[in-house]
Every structure is written in structure tokens, then in C-alpha cells.
Amino acid sequence: MRLASVPGIQRTGARAVARGFEHLLRLHEAGTGRVSVKILPGEYYATAQDEVITTVLGSCVSACIHDPEARVGGMNHFMLPEPSARRGRWGDTAAGRSARYGSDAMEQLVNTVLKAGGERGRLQVKIFGGGRVLARMTDIGARNVDFVRRYLDAESLLLAAEDVGGERPRQVRFYPVSGRAQVRRLNGLDDVGLADRERRYLKQLANDPIKGEVELF
């Protein structure tokens, strides 16, 4: 598929950048010339370019979605399943809501991949993360994994692969054109820093709720 035929893509210099994703950190990988796009909790990214999307997961979950015929795909990164007032409901995303919750992150990523040329019946999904890295707290990772499995079942989306649970953080690299994913488990020193970042993010969500939502914690 030629890049010019993919909706929602614009060229910036020698590269094309999907509109709405200009704020994401983009780095050129030495040796390959490939662009690496890093996403953080509450973010997602989809593209038809030969790039690699990266993230680091503890209790968070990332879904990697790919259409093998259109050769487009993307990844999200969410830390909480859904606001408690919306449990069990999909498709009612409020305007302006971020991808901080899985219920919104999944809808936004699926819709963006479809707009980029994917077809729902061809989508393949791989899920990663959901580890128990936050001691003395409820098992948020297990809740995230349960949520995304239920979502895929309710939406009749194919779960092609998963690497979830356990007690170790993961670094994930996803290649949206080929659908290939790489997972590396991180060591103990990385565990501490990631757990601290996840605690800060949970506190941020508690202190900055979206208007009208019921807080989970």
C-alpha cells in the first residue's frame, strides 16, 4: 500500500507523521534508520509506516493491533481498565477523554487503525503487560488483563498472542507494518523505578479526574 493512499497521514519533510501524534517522542535508531516512537501511559499511536512503537509495562497493559493485508497497526498503553460507572459498557467514549483508561484506549486505537485503512474483520491483536509490580496494592495488572480479554471477546476481535501477568516489567517493541512484537523482561533495578512511576501516575489520575467520572481509588 502506498503511503499516499492511507487516510490521516501527512508528510513532514522526508517522513510522514500521523496527524494528532506529533507530540510523541520520535527517535531515529542507529544502524537501521527506522524511527522509534515511544508511548507512555494514557497514550496510543497508529501508523502505516515502517516504524517501531515502544513502551515499558508493569501493571499496565498494551494492545498491539495489526491488519496484515493493509499493513497498518498501532499500540496503546493503559493503566486502569475503565471508570467504575462504565464497567461492562463499550463505545460511549466522551468527547475529549484521553486514553488513560482501557475502555477508551481500545476504542481510540481500533478506530484509528480502521481510519488508516484497516478492516475490522482482519484485525489481529496481541496483548502484553499486566504484571503485579505494585506491592501492597490490589492486583491492577490482573484487572487490566481481564478487561482487555473481555473487550476483545465482546468486539469479536482476534487475540493472536499474549504475554501477560507475572511479577516482572516488560519492554515491548511492536512493528505495525509486519505485526511482529518483541518482549524483553526487565531486571530488578528497573522494577523499582517503574513501580514508582506507576504509583505517581495513579496519584495523578486520582488528583485529576475527568469531569463527571467516578474515581476508582
The residues annotated as belonging to the active site are: 60
- Report the candidate in 176, 170, 190, 184 with the shortest Cα–Cα distance to residue 56: 170
Element holding 163 (H helix, E strand) = strand 158-164
Whole-angstrom distance, CA of residue 46 vs CA of residue 123: 13
Buried b (16+ CB within 10 A) or exposed e, 38-70: bbebbbbbbbbbebbbbbbbbbbbbbbbbbeeb
Cα 84 to chain centroid, rounded: 20
- Report the candidate in 131, 142, 198 with the shortest Cα–Cα distance to residue 167: 131
